[in-house]
Amino acid sequence: MLILVRHGESTGNAAGLLLGRIDSPLTERGLGQARSLAATVAGATRLVSSPLARARDTADALGTGLPVEIDDRWIEVDYGEFDGQPLGSVPAEVWARWRSDPTFTPPGGESLAAAGLRVRAACDELFADPDGPARGDGVVVVVSHVSPIKAAACWSLGMGDEGAWRLYLANASVTRITWGPGGPVLAGFNHTPWSDPD
């Protein structure tokens, strides 16, 4: 099984910022959210994280005892000149372009399609691994961000990157992907300790 964990609340999230590659530390609430996921990821055999501190700190707070492997493919989308800006200050026409065109690239940033390519490659690699989530008891936990986790969910559903706009993902949420006879299966999406007590 592949368990995708969105990092806990960061200071940028709490301030309502569009948060891409800017490093924004976890709030105390975010650290608590991350710790609350320990039981959810118990039994993990591998722990992978985005290189950003909010993801690495969440990975550490899970308490798996596993070494944290950094994989740059799980980093958040680069929002370019809009990174770190209040959500409400992004012009309406920019949101419209993003929602209508997965190849739209903000100035100095990255498109959802480009992010989708790297995430899909990471998913393919994980599920091809003989000791990975498609075989035996392999449970891989990946700590990442909104856009990469949505891209992985779209990959599992055989959808294009435009599907990301139809998904909502909370801080410190858990998404599960398994492997079925025909390929990946989305087994759970956007579960939190508060809505998914298991």
- What is the DSSP track for 85-126? SBGGGS-HHHHHHHHH-TT---TTS--HHHHHHHHHHHHHHH
Residue 109 neighbours by CB under 8 Å, 6+ apart: 20, 77, 78, 79, 80, 81, 82, 83
Annotated catalytic residue within 9, 76, 110, 145? 76
76: annotated active-site residue: yes
Residue whose C-alpha is closest to residue 69's, from 104, 93, 45: 45
Structure tokens at 166: 């139809």
- What is the DSSP track for 131-147? TSTTSTT--EEEEE-HH
145: annotated active-site residue: no
Cβ-in-10-Å burial (0-12, 13-18, 19+) of 198 comes to exposed
How wide is the angle at C-alpha 5 spanned by C-alphas 159 and 161, nearest 5°? 20
Annotated catalytic residue within 7, 9, 110, 145? 7
Positions marked catalytic: 7, 76
